[in-house]
Structure 1
Amino acid sequence: MRKTGLFALALTLLSSSAALAETNIRFTLGWKTQGSDAAMLLAQEKGYFAEEGLNVTIDQGEGSGATVTRIMSGTYDAGFGDINAIIQNASARPDEAPVMVYNMWSNPPFTIVSRKETGIESPDDLAGKTLGGAQGTPTTRLLPVFARSNDIDLDAIRIDNMAPNLQEPMLIRGDIDGAMVFNITSYFNLLLNRQDPDADYNWLNFGDYGLDLYSNGVMVSQAMIRDNPEAVAGLVRAINKAAVEIGLDQEAGGDAIMAYDNLVSRDMEMRRLRFAYETLIVSEETAELGIGDLDDERLARAIDIVVEGYELETTPEVSQVFTRQFLPAREERELVYEAN
């Protein structure tokens, strides 16, 4: 009995030491539980974080831009959010802004959505129309840059400011001709309002008309990069493993979503997951560089666009916004997407 007791005590001490050796990471999502978060949730559900010696706590978010401020406050170490919010904060508070370490959305979600009957099929069709937008959102803030890039007279467009939750209802009623939105949000808001966003609506994606921006990905605090780079690399490896896996098996992502939050609609979030991959993640650039990476020259242009749109006083360097030092090897980031 004595030997058995000592052996049990030894196992307990070893287990305690292993637990103490784990790195705790507080991770914030960009919004409430959504299919676009599947890579982080699958990495958690399948133990990929644990395999890297990480104890990751995942909380719901308050907006992809808020991810940056949550990390800057010190409440979170890492999160899933918008690289353009990093650019804004790197301009004003370069010593505090987080850094993107794994870019996921190669295509920007910034869009003007309109009912097809309004005839808005190209930027030229916006003259004389009324657009609804929420103040401070990237799509609304970048409209002047979009207009200048496409030789549109901004004075010929009426802008109605409104809360984000009013945009789709007012669009459906015909109170506005178009709404300045995130496509991955508005598409599903329309579905929830029993609309057909494909058959009955047009989508002017800013990325197709000169505003070749990046968007969401995994970002971490500068303190975490400085103090625990091994943990950053492990975090990226785990999320990359899950993101690549979901490309071939979306149902695995759906299982992880439901394991995290069984109150969401699996059908709706599976559709959102596929929308994220097909519309925002999969691109010619992703095929060339692999998921997680980006093109420095394109990012430099994107930084200039954001500096202009937000009238920032200084222009951040690419290295202040993104680093690839934690990315797995290119062959490990090969993304093959097969809808299932």
Structure 2
Amino acid sequence: MLTRIASAIVSLTLLCGEASAQELTTIRFSLGWKVRGADAPFLYAKEHGLFKAEGLNVILDQGEGSSATVTRVMSGAYDAGLGDINAIIQSAATRPQEAPVMVYNVYSQSPFAIVTKKNGGIKTIKDLEGHTLGGAQGTPTTRLIEVFARRNGLDMNKIKITNMAPNLQEPMLLKGDVDGALVFNITSYFNLVLNRQDPDKDFTWLSFDDYGVDLYSNGVMVSRKLIATNPKAVTGLVRAINKGMTAVAKDQNAGMKLVMENDSLLDAAVEKRRLQYSFERLIMSPEMNEIGIGDVKDQRLAKSIDTIVEGYQLPRTPAPGEIFTREFLPPKSDRMLAYTPN
């Protein structure tokens, strides 16, 4: 009798477990690139059950670039992802009903920069004239260099741009084949580190933000279909990611444990440094301290949209509400990061 009761209890438990699993909403999520230290908050949210607690089965896949995330979501292959808000602006200008919407901004400061060797003869932005810059075709830094030049009174006729693959920028800069590179700083900085260079001591970083090209960058975007059909899932996704972000801000070691479990061949010290760089150089800012992570300032976003329209010569100017919504954000009190390097 007891055996039959025990068997019934086990069967009931298994059935309940299967039912619970079936009730989870699957969200296919594209990261910006191969998993690296800066992705720790997303891994934390998954491995610590934060997505599951929201009724979600989030499948995290490596990406093909922060701009490519937009294409992936628009194609229907992914429901959400981590990508560049400026790529959303480009898509929304021509395909407004298909472009994804950003629901949680991560990078309050943009990563777009020009990196030069300190002994290479470029000490100020005016010194860019008469020199050669290497850029990867189609990237925001390369596409916006003419806007950068106009806003700083530079003559583009005196600046040569050499197109190259992204992975060749740092090697060609080190060899002296180009005098500067148009880069995504969190990538380039650590490419230099992995090439046994000192990015702070031996290189100059001219951030677009500091020279009149003030943009947002990476954040969480979702498809319009997901917003329309399951807004509750979007709210849960954002809430779980926010919890992962706040947890890793306090304890980077907890996040790095998961990064290394995902890929044991990574250099743990470099990737932890990359994670902390993402917080210190891109996430944390006076603006973020004012409005919390995840949100944007509408006026700044409107100006950045104008910049992208100018730089990419887009046929129309999307409204900020087409690009970003704060509808799914947790309360501001839950989005105030207490970042502590450890």
Same fold (TM over 0.5): yes
- Please state how far the C-alpha of 1:338 moved relative to its aligned partner: 1.3
Residues 1:145 and 2:147 are matched in the alignment: yes
Residues 1:86 and 2:88 are matched in the alignment: yes
Partner of 1:270: 272
Partner of 2:238: 236
- Please state how far the C-alpha of 1:122 moved relative to its aligned partner: 2.6
Partner of 2:290: 288
The aligned amino acid for 1:151 is G
TM-score where L is the length of structure 2: 0.98
Partner of 1:317: 319
The aligned amino acid for 2:90 is Q
Partner of 1:257: 259
For residues 159 and 177 of structure 1, the distance between their equivalents in structure 2, rounded to whole angstroms, comes to: 10
More divergent stretch after superposition (88-97 vs 116-125): 116-125
For residues 198 and 13 of structure 1, the distance between their equivalents in structure 2, rounded to whole angstroms, comes to: 57
For residues 78 and 112 of structure 1, the distance between their equivalents in structure 2, rounded to whole angstroms, comes to: 30
For residues 244 and 11 of structure 1, the distance between their equivalents in structure 2, rounded to whole angstroms, comes to: 34
Contact 1:45 1:259 in 2 (8 A): no
- Please state how far the C-alpha of 1:250 moved relative to its aligned partner: 0.9
Partner of 2:25: 23
Partner of 2:59: 57
- Please state how far the C-alpha of 1:263 moved relative to its aligned partner: 2.6
Partner of 1:110: 112
Partner of 1:181: 183
- Please state how far the C-alpha of 1:270 moved relative to its aligned partner: 0.4
Partner of 1:95: 97
Q: Percent identity?
A: 59
Partner of 2:121: 119
More divergent stretch after superposition (151-160 vs 250-259): 250-259
- Please state how far the C-alpha of 1:328 moved relative to its aligned partner: 0.4
The aligned amino acid for 2:217 is S
> What residue ranges of structure 2 are gaps of 5+ in the alignment?
none
- Please state how far the C-alpha of 1:172 moved relative to its aligned partner: 0.3
Partner of 1:302: 304
Partner of 2:5: 3
- Please state how far the C-alpha of 1:260 moved relative to its aligned partner: 2.5
> What residue ranges of structure 1 are gaps of 5+ in the alignment?
none
For residues 246 and 9 of structure 1, the distance between their equivalents in structure 2, rounded to whole angstroms, comes to: 38
Contact 1:30 1:80 in 2 (8 A): yes
The aligned amino acid for 1:41 is L
> Could you report, residue by residue, the CA deviation over 1:199-256 in whole angstroms, capped at 9, with x for unpaired residues?
1000000011111100001111101111111111111111101111111111111112
- Please state how far the C-alpha of 1:268 moved relative to its aligned partner: 1.3
Contact 1:104 1:216 in 2 (8 A): yes
> Could you report, residue by residue, the CA deviation over 1:115-137 in whole angstroms, capped at 9, with x for unpaired residues?
00123233211111111111111
The aligned amino acid for 1:63 is G
Partner of 1:166: 168
SS in 2 for 1:170: helix
The aligned amino acid for 1:46 is H
- Please state how far the C-alpha of 1:313 moved relative to its aligned partner: 0.3
Contact 1:33 1:264 in 2 (8 A): no
> Could you report, residue by residue, the CA deviation over 1:282-330 in whole angstroms, capped at 9, with x for unpaired residues?
0000000001111010000000000000010011111111000110001
For residues 134 and 9 of structure 2, the distance between their equivalents in structure 1, rounded to whole angstroms, comes to: 68
SS in 1 for 2:122: coil
Match of 1:217 among 200, 211, 219: 219
The aligned amino acid for 1:212 is D
TM-score where L is the length of structure 1: 0.98
Contact 1:121 1:204 in 2 (8 A): no
Partner of 1:39: 41
The aligned amino acid for 1:104 is V
SS in 2 for 1:108: coil
Partner of 1:198: 200
For residues 276 and 181 of structure 1, the distance between their equivalents in structure 2, rounded to whole angstroms, comes to: 15
Contact 1:30 1:62 in 2 (8 A): yes
